[in-house]
Amino acid sequence: MTPRDKIFYFLTIHRTGLSVCLLAVVLLAYPTLVANPYLLGISNLIAVYLIAVIGLNLFIGYAGQISLGHAAYLGLGAYGSALLTIHTGLNPWLAMALTALAVGLTSFLVAIPTLRLSGHYLAMATLGFNIVCYTIMMQWNQVTGGPSGLAGIPPLSVAGLPIDDEMRFHYLAWTLAIIVLTLGLNLARSSLGLALAAVAQNETAAASLGIQVVRAKIRIFVLSAVLASLAGSLFAHCYTFINPDSFTIFNSIELVTMVVIGGLGSIWGSLLGASLIILLPEFLHFFETFRDIIHGLIVVTVLILLPQGLVSGLKDLLRVRSLMSKKNAQN
Amino acid sequence: MLKIDGISKHFGGLPALEEVSFNCREGMTTALIGPNGAGKSTLINCIAGSLFPDAGVIHFQNQRIDGLPPHQRPYLGISRTFQNLALFPRLTVLENVLTGLTPEAEQSFVKSLLRLPATRHRERLLRLKAMAMLDNFGLTDKARWPVSILSYGDRKRVEMARALVSGPRLLLLDEPVAGLNSAETARIGAEIRRLHGAGLTILLVEHDMDLVMSVSDHIVVLDGGRLIASGAPEEIRTNPRVIEAYLGRMSVTA
Amino acid sequence: MPTLTDFLQFLFAGLTNGAIYALIALGFCVVHNTMGIVNFTQVDLVSLGGMFLYSALFLFGLPMPLALAGAVAAAALSGMAVERFGIRPSRSGNHLVLIFLTIGLSVILRGIMKLVWGKNRMAVPPLTADEPIRLFGATLLPQILWIFLLTTAAVILLIWIFRHTTLGLCMRGVASNPAAAAVVGIDAGRIRMVSFAIAGAMGGLAGALVTPITTLSYDVGVLLGLKGFAAAILGGFGSFGGAIAGGLLLGLLESLAAAGLSSAYKDVIAFGLLLLVLFIRPQGLFGAGKR
């Protein structure tokens, strides 16, 4: 091997780890380059959503299931964290963890009957769950504050430093987002990730190879609910104000479009999808009236041209193309 | 080794299997033949756990398995292929074969999320094992190909590799050469004989009589869900009931 | 203590909503039967029915019967356009992808409605004068009678088409075995387009009939449409009889929940019960078991 080959080999072997490090470095430097709190606020929102989108992508892209109600878990996380800190004065970190635990347990109980359902029935059940949660948030005035929501949620703090401006929240949110991204990439590359991908593509064959299909689905569902809950808690402590409007079925559908556009079963795709959908309205400021149409057109165009989403679809396309050219070269 | 005892299976009142009993002896290749609709695939599915029999008992190495969920059977050493291929189309050849190593793979969610050095080491070993198996089947060059672009013959071989990579004790082959040309069929036949030589117990469902006659030690014949004959290949070849079952159909289709 | 009059009042309200849900549920079922997917643009076809009625009345000044027919026809055409330009270009056979596609199309349709008709709430007049009718002490708007009448007519027409016409036969053929249908020369693309037209007509009629008693806005169809979906699921997705029964049951349930327990939580009760039904019977109340 020449030194050049060695470098190339090193880059190929460690491409995932190096990409994560590169992303981390860029994000570390980002606030010094862009000190504009408005722009930081947007990238912070991407970080918060990314955590939930990665979980949802594991559920849709890997376990091959459909969920049109993940904003409900986002909402449960946000309201759980908010209520615990406002009423009991609990440490926000502890509140976040307790809420995630409770949501994890709830989703486990919900998963057992829900995941017996398939296809359209599962779509309905998850939608229904979201509508139930949203209506309770809207109507249970004494507890949830109804349509006006809850204000005065205490911010998180790290080593006595309150995370109360965009710059600080940038570092906190992206640290957590990169941890989740890394965990997601690890899972996707592991044998277990392979088993999950197998479940999504052919359940009978997966079972015949020793993969516990139902258990795999339940675990991924609980993981995705817990991640959504954590994202919701972060959201609540970041904005110190929440109302039910952030947790409607339309938000669930937005989460799904983030997964779909970025790429089913692609963790990096989740980053792309979340960024695109959150940045889109900023670019479309001038055409406020055309916003939904353009948003929908992008989803539809991506799905028609690359049904697996941008990242997964392009990856497949490039791989097949390069293999085909190799095959032709051999002949 | 595999004892099938009085297995019956009905689909909405229509009997697919009626009181079928036979044994597969250790290290032997047993062929299961019969006209279309005789219940061969139903029986394989009952042994692999994709279907549960309505009545009867199946023992594997003195353990009763007919009620076990399908995912536990590979752990006992039962492995299978599918009649119409059941590969994972968006995974690569190597990844498809790796899924065959599930019983040896890391099951812990937390360890998979953390990707500890020990887990990585274990995965490296599994990868080597899978690559060695691909080498056996002449698929090394195509390890990184998505199976969706492979030829049908290659896909059949990937499925065989996936079934064998875990080192099973009993291999269930459901029409392994259906749709293959004669060269590919010969290749699979040679592979079956090699496995037989290595002492693997095989239950083979197949329509290709040349292949069946050349590889099997024992043949079981089903017709209309019932066992009508069993014995050595020479006996089956001359058994009047078997000839009738096959020729009867032939004269109808002719 | 609710009196008989109150009870009748709630019964009428429940049946009215139920009839609307049933119409929408049938739209979901028709598309499901020919394509095997949930068509989420169904919810917007409901809103479009109301929008077209509004425009026909106030923009073109058409008389009511003509305006209603025009609205239903326009909604049917919209359904066909959705299939032709939105679904057909995708050659994916993956149901998950197709369902997400209809979600994207639904976002586009809502964007278009916002653009054309604006975001404000609008009022649509009822089919005939507003004089309430008294029945056993309960009051009944004439619009409610129209809803019952026209819904029943639409259901009978739909069933007649499916049972007694060649078109219906082809649609049932595609539903039960698409491959075989293609072999005998049925053009699956045309059948899908027809099924979207029927879905559009059903949704459009529901929207045109219900908006005079609610209000009209670009997203009025969303909650109505999702309840129609719930009704279809409740009845075992795909079965016409199940969809009608599911719609009426959901409407009654909701109305009784609003009356007996709490009107604020009627959606919670309706969807909570739906979840419960699904958990006990994963194939819906009237659906066939696993084959």
Distance, CA of C80 to CA of C84 (rounded, Å):
6
Q: Phi, psi (5° rounding) for residue C89? A: -60, -25
Interface test with C, best of A67, A107, A135, A294 (most C CBs within 10 A): A135
Residue B98: which of A194, A316, A320 has the nearest Cβ?
A: A194
CB neighbour list of residue C68: distance below 8 Å, 6 or more residues apart: C53, C56, C127, C208
SS (H, E, C) chain B: CEEEEEEEEEECCEEEEEEEEEEECCCCEEEEECCCCCCHHHHHHHHHCCCCCCEEEEEECCEECCCCCHHHHHHHCEEECCCCCCCCCCCEHHHHHHHCCHHHCCCCHHHHHHCCHHHHHHHHHHHHHHHHHHHHCCCHHHCCCEHHHCCHHHHHHHHHHHHHCCCCCEEEEECCCCCCCHHHHHHHHHHHHHHHHCCCEEEEECCCHHHHHHHCCEEEEEECCEEEEEECHHHHHHCHHHHHHHHHHHHHHC
3-state helix vs strand vs coil in chain C, percent to 5: 70, 5, 25
> Based on the number of CB atoms within 10 Å of its own CB, is A65 exposed (0-12), middle (13-18) or buried (19 or more)?
buried
- E strand spans, A173-262: 241-242
Q: Which residue has the tokens 């074969």?
A: B97
Q: Domain holding A269: CATH number? A: 1.10.3470
**Bridge-based pairing state of the strands B14-24 and B2-11:** antiparallel
Q: How far is C268 from chain A (nearest CA, A)?
A: 5
- Could you read off the pLDDT tens digit of each residue along chain A, which spans 331 residues? 788 888 887 887 778 888 888 888 888 888 888 778 888 888 889 999 999 999 999 998 887 788 899 999 999 999 999 999 988 888 989 999 999 999 999 999 888 888 877 778 888 888 989 999 999 999 898 888 888 888 888 888 787 788 778 888 888 999 999 999 999 999 988 888 899 889 888 888 999 999 988 888 888 999 999 999 999 999 999 888 899 999 999 899 999 999 988 888 888 999 999 999 888 877 777 677 787 888 888 889 888 888 888 888 888 788 777 777 776 766 6
- Contact criterion met (CB below 8 Å) for B249 and B35: yes
Residue B86: which of A202, A213, A319 has the nearest Cβ?
A: A202
Distance, CA of A327 to CA of A321 (rounded, Å):
10
Residue A293: which of C38, C115, C222 has the nearest Cβ?
A: C115
The confidence score (pLDDT) of residue C263 equals: 74
Cβ contact, residue pair A132, C226, below 8 Å:
no
Cβ contact, residue pair A123, C99, below 8 Å:
yes
For the whole model, what pTM was predicted?
0.87
Interface test with A, best of B80, B88, B127 (most A CBs within 10 A): B88
Within 8 A of A114 by CB-CB distance, chain C residues are: 279
Residue A194: which of B89, B95, B107 has the nearest Cβ?
A: B95
Q: Which residue of B has its CA nearest to A220?
A: B109
Residue B114: which of A186, A202, A320 has the nearest Cβ?
A: A186
Cβ contact, residue pair B119, A223, below 8 Å:
no
| Tokens, residue C193 | 């387009």
Cβ contact, residue pair B74, A319, below 8 Å:
no
CB neighbour list of residue A207: distance below 8 Å, 6 or more residues apart: A213, B49, B50, B69, B70, B71
Structure ipTM: 0.85
- Could you read off the pLDDT tens digit of each residue along chain B, which spans 254 residues? 899 998 888 887 788 888 999 999 999 999 998 888 788 888 999 999 888 999 999 999 989 998 898 899 999 999 999 988 899 988 899 999 999 998 888 778 888 888 888 888 888 999 999 999 999 888 999 998 888 888 888 999 999 999 999 999 999 999 988 888 888 899 889 999 999 999 999 999 988 888 888 899 999 998 888 888 888 888 888 888 888 877 665 544 43
Neighbours of A322 (CB within 10 A): 10
Beta-bridge mates of residue B226: B223
Interface test with B, best of A20, A191, A311 (most B CBs within 10 A): A191
**Longest CA pairwise span in chain A (Å):** 75
Within 8 A of A198 by CB-CB distance, chain B residues are: 88, 91, 99
Q: How far is B73 from chain A (nearest CA, A)?
A: 7
Residue A329: inside a domain, yes or no?
no
Interface test with A, best of B79, B102, B154 (most A CBs within 10 A): B102
Which chains have 3+ CB pairs within 8 A of A?
Answer: B, C
Count of H-run helices and E-run strands, chain C: 11, 2
Cβ contact, residue pair A296, C105, below 8 Å:
yes
C-alpha distance across the termini of chain B, in Å: 40
Residue A20: inside a domain, yes or no?
no
Taking the Cβ of residue C149 and every Cβ of chain A, the question of whether any pair is shorter than 8 Å is answered with no
Interface test with A, best of C94, C223, C271 (most A CBs within 10 A): C271
Residue A312: inside a domain, yes or no?
no
The confidence score (pLDDT) of residue B134 equals: 93
CB neighbour list of residue C56: distance below 8 Å, 6 or more residues apart: C62, C66, C67, C68, C70, C71, C74
DSSP string over A76-112? HHHHHHHHHHHHH---HHHHHHHHHHHHHHHHHHHHH
Residue A299: which of C107, C230, C272 has the nearest Cβ?
A: C107
pLDDT exceeds 50 at position C289: no
The pLDDT tens digits for C50-100 are 999 999 888 888 888 888 999 999 999 999 999 999 888 887 777 888 888
pLDDT exceeds 60 at position C290: no
Q: Classify residue C216 by its DSSP letter.
A: B
Tell me how far CA of residue A257 lies from CA of A128, A262, C221, in angstroms: 19, 8, 21
Distance, CA of B42 to CA of B47 (rounded, Å):
9
Cβ contact, residue pair A195, B82, below 8 Å:
no
Taking the Cβ of residue A7 and every Cβ of chain C, the question of whether any pair is shorter than 8 Å is answered with no
Q: Closest Cα to residue C195, out of C103, C92, C84?
A: C84
**All domains in chain B, ordered by first residue:** 24-87+151-217+228-253 (3.40.50.300)
- Please report the number of interchain residue pairs, chain A to chain C, with beta-carbon separation below 8 angstroms: 121
Taking the Cβ of residue B120 and every Cβ of chain A, the question of whether any pair is shorter than 8 Å is answered with no
Cβ contact, residue pair C111, A260, below 8 Å:
no
How many structural domains comprise chain A?
1
Q: Which residue of A has its CA nearest to C229?
A: A124
Cβ contact, residue pair B89, A201, below 8 Å:
yes
Residue C267: which of A64, A135, A299 has the nearest Cβ?
A: A135
Residue A300: which of C105, C268, C274 has the nearest Cβ?
A: C105
Which chains have 3+ CB pairs within 8 A of B?
Answer: A
Q: Which residue of A has its CA nearest to C28?
A: A120
Within 8 A of A117 by CB-CB distance, chain C residues are: 278, 282
Residue A11: inside a domain, yes or no?
no
- C-alpha gyration radius of chain C: 19
Cβ contact, residue pair C278, A125, below 8 Å:
yes
Within 8 A of C284 by CB-CB distance, chain A residues are: 121
Residue A231: inside a domain, yes or no?
yes
**Residue range C11-18: mean pLDDT, rounded:** 88
Q: Which residues of C240-268 are buried (b: 16+ CB within 10 A; e: fewer)?
A: bebbbbbbbbbbbbbbbbbbeeeeebbbb
> Based on the number of CB atoms within 10 Å of its own CB, is B5 exposed (0-12), middle (13-18) or buried (19 or more)?
middle
CA C78 to chain CA centroid, Å, is 14
Cβ contact, residue pair C278, A289, below 8 Å:
no
CB neighbour list of residue C177: distance below 8 Å, 6 or more residues apart: none
Residue B100: which of A207, A209, A324 has the nearest Cβ?
A: A209
The confidence score (pLDDT) of residue B83 equals: 86
Coil, strand or helix at C183: helix
Q: Which residues of A290-319 are buried (b: 16+ CB within 10 A; e: fewer)?
A: ebbbbbbbbbbebbbebbbbbbbbebbeee
Within 8 A of B50 by CB-CB distance, chain A residues are: 204, 207-208
Residue A208: which of B80, B98, B114 has the nearest Cβ?
A: B80
Residue A14: inside a domain, yes or no?
no
Q: Determine the structural domain holding residue A181 and report its residue range.
A: 48-307
Distance, CA of B1 to CA of B65 (rounded, Å):
12
Taking the Cβ of residue A269 and every Cβ of chain C, the question of whether any pair is shorter than 8 Å is answered with no
The pLDDT tens digits for C242-271 are 889 999 999 998 888 887 777 778 888 888
Cβ contact, residue pair A139, C279, below 8 Å:
no
Q: Which residue of A has its CA nearest to B115?
A: A186
Cβ contact, residue pair A210, B82, below 8 Å:
no
Residue A331: inside a domain, yes or no?
no
CA C89 to chain CA centroid, Å, is 25
